[in-house]
Structure 1
Amino acid sequence: MDELGFHRALYRPGLLLDVGAHDGAFTLPFAALPGSRVLAFEPLPSAYARLEAALAPCPPHVTLRRAALGDAPGEITLSVPVVKGVAQEQWASIAKGYAQHEGVEEQRHSVTVLTLDSLGLSDLTHVKLDAEGAEYEVLRGARETLTRCRPVLSVEIEERHRAGSTHAVPAFLDGLGYEGFWQQGGEWRPMASLDRHRLPKASPNPSVFEHIEDYIFVFYFLPREHAVAMLARMPPPPG
């Protein structure tokens, strides 16, 4: 099951949050779910423009925000690596820069940062989070919302973006009463079974393009009080 399939399998009408919406690969299918409302955050100006165009005219149940989420409000620098003159937008990050890598230039954008808790959401049911290393800050700024609403989450966590993140992010969510899972061979496995030392490693340098077999970078989090029932709703692995 892929990340979108996870949200479809557990779909509950309410507000779906897309953090790091980029071109709308999740925003658009989220918006097509019956009874959904969607809130999408994308701070990179070029990606936000394409997201707007993809939804034009923007339906009333979808809200787009050209901003980043974090653990404190303000302004921050969004860094985009440029390799051979091409901006690698999928690596855009507020958590780190790329100038230290040989052969990599940088674009820098000043972007607005909000906390999710400042929005006072009451019916958040789903979160897709892809923040290129800033996942911990996004979740810290969402502590009250996660405690109140108990959404399900899919979070892209990569050590190449931030060392220690595959420990810190699950530990933070564990403290909020979430059970973490990852998938291998179509089977759901608890976070406790993740052997980080044996996971395939990806280069932190955006100029190095690698094909990595069985690279695990999407993790799933369910409210502990509903985890058993939610897992039972998942379709069995193929074959």
Structure 2
Amino acid sequence: MDEFGFHHTLHRPGTLLDVGAHDGAFALPFAALPASRVLAFEPLPAAFARLRAAFGDPLPSHVELRQEALGERDGEAVLSMPVLDGAPQEQWASTAKGYGAALGEPRVAERRFPVPVRRLDGFGLRDLTAAKIDAEGAEYEVLRGARETLLRCRPVLSIEIEERHRPGSTWAVPAFLDALGYDTHWEHWDAWRPMAEFDRALMHRASPNPAVFEASDPYVFVFYALPREHAEGMLARLRAAAAAGAGSPPKR
């Protein structure tokens, strides 16, 4: 089961959050789910322009797009994007790390963008049912700024967490969620396993340098957090859906 299959299987009506929406790979199918409202954040200007264009004009009434980053507090941050041999590497853009000279890689330059940062808790959401978070190392800050919302709404979460972007993050993020009553799992070949069984040396090695394309095989970097009070039943649904070959995105 892929990441969208997780959200499709566990979908409940309400607000679906897309953090790091890029050009809409999740926001678009989220918007097609029944009784959904989409709240999507993408701070990179070029990616946000494509995201906005992908939804057409006028913007659907149940979709809200924000050219902002989420974080621990309201303010401003610097979004750093590596440029490899003149080609922008948008998928590596991060508010948590720098590139270029800081990386010590002559093939990599850096573009920096000042971006507004908001706390999710400042939005006062009451119906958040799911969130996909892809923040290139800033996941911990995103979650800290969403603490009240997570406790109130109990959404399911899919989170890309990579040690190459933030050393220690595969320990720190699940520990923070554990304190909020979430169980974090990982999936490989339709087997769902607890975080305690995750072998980082075997399944989570990758270069932090965008000029070096190397990673372990398999490379597991998407993790799934379920509210503990519902985790057993949700895992049963995920396993049944995987066995049935379900979890495909709906047609728009």
Measure, in 2, the Cα distance between the counterparts of 1:196 and 1:238.
Answer: 29
- Which of 169, 187, 190 lines up with 1:186 in the alignment? 190
Q: State the partner residue of 1:25.
A: 25
Q: State the partner residue of 1:143.
A: 147
Q: State the partner residue of 1:88.
A: 89
Q: Trace 1:179-218 onto structure 2 (pairs within 5 A).
A: 179-210=183-214, 212-218=216-222
Q: Given that residues 117 and 144 in structure 1 are in contact (C-alpha distance below 8 angstroms), is that contact kept between their aligned partners in structure 2? A: yes
- Which of 118, 125, 136 lines up with 1:121 in the alignment? 125
Q: Trace 1:52-71 onto structure 2 (pairs within 5 A).
A: 52-57=52-57, 58-71=59-72
Q: Given that residues 187 and 237 in structure 1 are in contact (C-alpha distance below 8 angstroms), is that contact kept between their aligned partners in structure 2? A: no
Query: How far is the alpha carbon of 1:212 from its aligned partner?
Result: 4.1
Q: State the partner residue of 2:40.
A: 40
Query: How far is the alpha carbon of 1:208 from its aligned partner?
Result: 1.1
Secondary structure of the 1:50 match is: helix
- Which of 155, 159, 167 lines up with 1:155 in the alignment? 159
Q: Given that residues 82 and 107 in structure 1 are in contact (C-alpha distance below 8 angstroms), is that contact kept between their aligned partners in structure 2? A: yes
The higher-RCO structure (CA 8 Å, 6+ apart) is: 2
TM-score of the two chains, using structure 1 as the length reference: 0.97
TM-score of the two chains, using structure 2 as the length reference: 0.92
Query: How far is the alpha carbon of 1:199 from its aligned partner?
Result: 2.5
Query: How far is the alpha carbon of 1:59 from its aligned partner?
Result: 0.3
Measure, in 2, the Cα distance between the counterparts of 1:101 and 1:52.
Answer: 35
Q: Given that residues 101 and 205 in structure 1 are in contact (C-alpha distance below 8 angstroms), is that contact kept between their aligned partners in structure 2? A: no
Query: How far is the alpha carbon of 1:88 from its aligned partner?
Result: 0.1
| Structure 2 unaligned residues grouped into runs of 5+ | 246-252
Q: Given that residues 125 and 151 in structure 1 are in contact (C-alpha distance below 8 angstroms), is that contact kept between their aligned partners in structure 2? A: yes
Secondary structure of the 2:214 match is: coil
Structure 2 letter corresponding to 1:37: R
Query: How far is the alpha carbon of 1:185 from its aligned partner?
Result: 2.1
Q: Given that residues 185 and 237 in structure 1 are in contact (C-alpha distance below 8 angstroms), is that contact kept between their aligned partners in structure 2? A: no
Percentage of matched positions with identical amino acids: 67
Measure, in 1, the Cα distance between the counterparts of 2:130 and 2:49.
Answer: 24
Measure, in 2, the Cα distance between the counterparts of 1:185 and 1:76.
Answer: 38
Structure 1 letter corresponding to 2:196: A
Measure, in 1, the Cα distance between the counterparts of 2:189 and 2:148.
Answer: 35
Q: Given that residues 204 and 215 in structure 2 are in contact (C-alpha distance below 8 angstroms), is that contact kept between their aligned partners in structure 1? A: no
Q: State the partner residue of 1:133.
A: 137
Query: How far is the alpha carbon of 1:153 from its aligned partner?
Result: 0.1
Secondary structure of the 2:231 match is: helix
Q: Given that residues 186 and 238 in structure 1 are in contact (C-alpha distance below 8 angstroms), is that contact kept between their aligned partners in structure 2? A: no
Structure 2 vs 1, CA of residues 236 and 46 (structure 1 numbering), >3 Å: closer, same or farther?
Answer: closer
